[in-house]
Structure 1
């Protein structure tokens, strides 16, 4: 999986890797550079 980029736009269903965990986007969203957004359950669902 590609590394999560806090400034990238993601589409629902996209999968990324961050700190050894794979996350699936729960909704379409545009990152704003906030490093904590990967932990927002409204945006990302941890799979591993």
Structure 2
């Protein structure tokens, strides 16, 4: 079992992950509101 799986099962035992509703529709719009912005620096810090 991967570390992430173990963490999720330990901290969120009833959590069910599923694709978002928009991924299940035939057509959708995506707006890249923060294009070019990433929350982490190259060294891994915020």
TM-score, normalized by length of structure 1?
Answer: 0.19
User: Which protein has the larger Cα radius of gyration, Structure 1 or Structure 2?
Assistant: 2
Question: Higher relative CO (CA 8 A, sep ≥ 6), structure 1 or 2?
Answer: 1
Structure with bigger strand share is 1
Structure with bigger helix share is 2
